Structure 1
Amino acid sequence: MSDKREDNSLGGRVKRYAKVGRAMGGLAARVAGHRYLGLKVDRAEHASELKSALGGLKGPLMKVAQIMATIPDALPKEYVEELRQLQANAPSMGWAFVKRRMASELGPDWQKRFKEFTHEAAAAASLGQVHQATSLDGRALACKLQYPDMQSAVEADLSQLKLIFRLYERYDRAIATQQIHAEIADRLREELDYDREARAMALYRLMLADEPEVHLPEPVSTLTTKRLLTMTWVEGEPLMSFLDKKPKVELRNKVAYNMFRAWYVPFYEYGIIHGDPHLGNYTVRPKGTADEGAVNLMDFGCIRIFDAKFVQGVIDLYWALQNDDRELAVHAYESWGFKGLNKDVIDVLNRWAMFVYGPLLEDRTRKIQEHESGIYGREVAESVHADLRRLGPVTPPKEFVFMDRAAIGLGSVFLHLKAEINWYQMFHDLIRDFDAKVLAKRQKAALKEVGL
């Protein structure tokens, strides 16, 4: 029943180019002026202006901006700090839009299909906003509505992003960006299909069925379309609100353990990962409730399905670092499809791998990062990036865009929690009985069950 006028169109893309040009033109000019001409700009002020402009634009550039904020040296630190806040604090659209969207998806009498439906959005992000509702049988619901013209916006923004990456490579040869762009494009196009996201949600409910302290919403298929996703409402509070109450370390550790299981049980048992671990995609069951410290996992538009051999490579690299087996490390990188490798590049990649795997290599209780340095991994990443700029370009396999993002995103969560855990034991609990053939069969069966 969705409005076909919102499908990808030339007119929609042209309008988007104009809006994006206004928002991004200032950034390009000022950053270029700073890099090449030495012009002084108030970067903190301009970064705040850029965040506001992108928030008002809606759409994929907000998500891309967050991804760019994780690429070392791509943007000044002031921009990184502002852009990291985008998805959690995006301004919502008004009731007039909500009524149009709901009517186009469920018909003119859509309000009769709910007992209650709130006018104000409970949350707003890059591609859509969420409203609370109550079903006719009394269940608390969350209805995610996609913003208008998102298909045109995605295609226009991906074209703009390709140009941005080309400019990036002119002054920074560390990373070849073609595969990064391809991966972002694939995931963004998938995120537009809320029917697909509902199936991905069902998949995660299947994979995490044996995790009692990881809660997920349940999709409501009769109230879901390509641009409207209706699911059960899950109660929780944002991580920062949870931390404001100064919970004891035991409770913080419990949250960290549950987050670790929520992300990595699906990966090591099914070869599937949630690729978007920003702060808006999960909440914590609050202190004082029956299951305090349990977590709610939400937003399944960005999942990544890996071949069993990719997961095997992740484990191979772990053992290579644990046993100082350089040949096995090279095998792992090559099995993933890394190109442009030589001895010096491998040494640099191993340095990054030692940081990512570091907490898993020591059989002791420790923090995820034992020195205070702001953004998780930034110092190490910048050092690695500088060496790759000197040695590069390196062409990373596209699978690494969201795998790396998940690792850094989760590391940031654990850093906020100041969790003190034996990460080695948690990791070994997951990989102890790993068998790539078993994973492949299990993955195939699970995807077939949910229709993905």
Structure 2
Amino acid sequence: MTDIPRRAVSRTAKLAALPLGFAGRTVLGVGKRVTGLASEVISAEIQQRTAEQLFSVLGQLKGGAMKFGQALSVFEAALPEEIAAPYRQALTKLQESAPPLPVASVHKVLSEQLGPDWQSYFLEFNDKPAAAASIGQVHQAIWNGPPVVPAGTRRRGTKTTARAAATGRPVAVKVQYPGAGDALLADLKQLSRLGTMFRAIQPGLDIKPLLAELRDRISEELDYELEAESQRAFAAAYAGDPEIFVPEVVAASPRVLVTDWVDGTPLSQIIASGTEEERNQAGRHLATLHFSAPGRAGLLHADPHPGNFRLLADGRLGVIDFGAVARLPGGHPEPVGRLVRLALAGEAEAVVDGLRGEGFIKPDEVIDAEAVLDFIMPVLEPLSVEEFRFTRAWLRVEAGRLTNPRSPAYQLSRQLNLPPSYLLIHRVTLGSIGILSQLEAKAPYRAIVERWLPGFAPPA
């Protein structure tokens, strides 16, 4: 029995208490402040206590709960500054840190996955994790050449994979937490109970298929060999690229992944203290990754939070963690670019027809086309000009417009749906906007979209 299943009752209790402590004590209050339903001020003491509880509980739980916390760490940019400030530091910790796995447990996983002589594969191995994420933690090491495939490990259920790798190269060794699979599925089941919170934000959502799609995609992250395949595809697509850097995969087994080490400044540091040039550069590269990856790699990096990006010394954006990806072999769906172009052109009826055809509007739903355009246009402001600067203030205005029950935008949202096939695209877009707003990055976003998003450029 693994450590995590033994603590299943405790974990469930902690997660069950989170909505009571966090949502009950604070989120409802924050919602009132954001939506204008009340003017009372939440005390700084309660905010701080809730932030500490959030980090403590989600950090201990890891798995799906920690992923929820990582998402929150991006969207704090949408909250009013006086409310967001107490959460920012605690939530940012979730992007790169969590309570570490004991050294003995790390060695046990490495022995099971790489064989009892696993230490021979490294000239050096740092037992202290360099970073900890939702289902695994990362150790820095020095590679000692390709390993012999050990008996008992699996390649898609059979054996470990490795490629020829130079001795002495710095590598990142990602080790999956024992019991992470059970923990992840248990956490997702618990978090599905928060579906009513999402209905409050967008009542028209069909929650069940969305949760099923999210569960399937997140569950894929447990397979490090699948992640290795995705990372290899990204590395090949961006080999020699002047803007994006993807580290190569050195070796992979179901629960251990070895890749080249990436030195650089974490995006969280750029957000906190980067220069304007660094912020703008990071934002431009992040937008380029978002829109170019489906066409170049057939994949979309689907875990956008600052802990997964580094600004390298040469100015490139280093990208790590490819466990969560959206598979888009045909590139970005053409309707996305086409409908954005039609919206910017003011073609309200054509936009509604397109949204209905893609499942964003239900077939029998009667809807005001001009109201739909009014709903969409403010969000498309960054693409209506040659250069745009995302800001926390801009995002707060948009969040307030879309979540205030008194606003026309909120009322219209009750008639809209999010098709499961667009779930990860939607998630990545929102997450990227959150990061760009944290960076307050100015860039030629329209030109990036024109180059990479199918359907956006007018037909010849």
Q: Shorter chain as normaliser: what TM range?
A: 0.7 to 0.9
Letter in 2 for 1:280: G
- Could you tell me how far 1:150 is from its partner in structure 2? 1.2
Compute the displacement of 1:278 (Å): 0.5
Offset, 1:163 = 2.1
Shift of the 248–25 alpha-carbon distance from structure 1 to 2, 3 Å rule, reads closer
Displacement after TM superposition at 1:152 (Å):
0.9
Q: Deviation of residue 348 (structure 1)?
A: 5.5
Structure 2 counterpart of 1:60, one-letter code = G
Relative distance call for 1:308 and 1:154 in structure 2 (3 A) is same
Q: Residue 367 of structure 2 contacts residue 415 of structure 2 at CA under 8 Å; is this kept in 1?
A: no
Aligned residue for 2:388, secondary structure, equals coil
Given residue 104 of structure 1, which amino acid in structure 2 is its aligned partner? E
**Letter of the 1:30 counterpart:** R
Paired residue for 2:25?
Answer: 30
Residue 313 of structure 1 contacts residue 335 of structure 1 at CA under 8 Å; is this kept in 2?
A: no
In structure 2, list runs of 5 or more residues that go unmatched: 33-37, 145-166
- Between 1:102-111 and 1:350-359, the stretch displaced more is 350-359
Q: 5 Å matches for 1:91-110?
A: 91-110=99-118
Q: Return the match for 1:397 from 413, 419, 425.
A: 419
- Report the equivalent of 1:208: 238
For residues 44-443 of structure 1, the aligned pairs below 5 Å read 44-67=48-71, 81=88, 82-83=90-91, 85-136=93-144, 137-166=167-196, 169=199, 173=203, 175-209=205-239, 211-221=241-251, 224-242=252-270, 247=275, 249=277, 252-269=279-296, 271-286=298-313, 291=314, 293-306=315-328, 308=330, 311-340=333-362, 342=365, 344=367, 349-362=372-385, 364-369=386-391, 373=393, 377-385=395-403, 386=405, 387=408, 390-391=411-412, 392=414, 394-431=416-453
CA-to-aligned-CA distance 1:386-432 (integer Å, 9 cap, x gap): 34654525331124433233223323333344433322222222248
SS in 1 for 2:389: coil
Identity of aligned residues (%): 29
Shift in alpha-carbon separation, 1:393–1:324, aligned structure 2, 3 A: closer
- Cα pair distance change 1:324/1:433, threshold 3 Å: closer
Deviation at 1:353, TM superposition (A): 3.2
Post-superposition offset of 1:201: 0.1
Q: Which residue of 2 aligns with 1:448?
A: none
Deviations 1:208-236, CA, capped at 9 Å, x for gaps: 23623311111123xx2111111111211
Taking the aligned partners of 2:308 and 2:259, their CA distance within structure 1 comes to 14
Looking at structure 1, the residues matched to 272 and 190 of structure 2 have their Cα atoms a distance apart, in angstroms, of: 39
Aligned 8 A contact 2:295 2:331 in 1 = no
Do the aligned residues in 1 keep the contact of 2:334 with 2:453 (CA within 8 Å)?
no
Q: CA distance change for structure 1 residues 152 and 110 in 2, over 3 Å: closer, same or farther?
A: same
Change in Cα spacing, 1:350 to 1:180, as seen in structure 2 (3 Å) is: farther
Letter in 2 for 1:51: F
* Cα 1:388–1:16 shift into 2, 3 Å: farther
What CA RMSD, in Å, does the superposition of the two structures yield over aligned residues? 3.7
Deviation at 1:62, TM superposition (A): 1.1
After superposition, give the CA deviation of every residue in 1:368-394 in whole Å (9 maximum; x if it has no partner).
35xx51xx6243133223346545253
Following superposition, the deviation at residue 295 of structure 1 comes to 1.1
Q: Which amino acid aligns with 2:346?
A: D
- Residue 13 of structure 1: CA displacement? 5.6
| 1:12 to 1:338, Cα distance in 2 relative to 1, 3 A | farther
- The match for 1:450 is none
- Alpha-carbon spacing, 1:408–1:169, altered in 2? closer, same or farther (3 Å): closer
Maintained 8 Å contact 1:6/1:152: no
User: How far apart, in 2, do the equivalents of 1:325 and 1:187 lie?
Assistant: 34
**Compared CA separation, residues 390 and 423, structure 1 to 2 (3 A):** closer
Question: Aligned to 2:398, what secondary structure does the other structure show?
Answer: helix
| 8 A contact 1:118–1:133 mirrored in 2 | yes
Q: What is the TM-score when the length of structure 1 is the normalising length?
A: 0.79
Return the offset for 1:57.
Answer: 1.9
Whether the 8 Å contact between 2:232 and 2:249 is mirrored in structure 1 is yes
Contact 1:271/1:311 (8 A) holds in 2: no
Taking a change above 3 Å as real, the CA distance of residues 333 and 119 of structure 1, as seen in their structure-2 partners, is same
Change (3 A) 1:351 1:93: farther
Q: CA deviation at 1:167?
A: 6.7
Residue pair 1:105, 1:228 contacting (<8 A) in 2 also: yes
TM-score (norm 2): 0.78
Q: How many residues are treated as equivalent by the alignment? A: 416
Structure 2 residue aligned with 1:444: none
Q: For residues 33 and 268 of structure 1, what CA distance do their matches in structure 2 show?
A: 41
- One-letter amino acid of the structure 2 residue matched with residue 274 of structure 1: H
* Code of the aligned partner of 2:292: V
Structure 2 CA distance for partners of 1:298 and 1:150, relative to 1, 3 Å: same
1:325 and 1:304 mapped to 2: Cα distance? 30
Q: Secondary structure of the residue that 2:442 maps to in structure 1?
A: coil
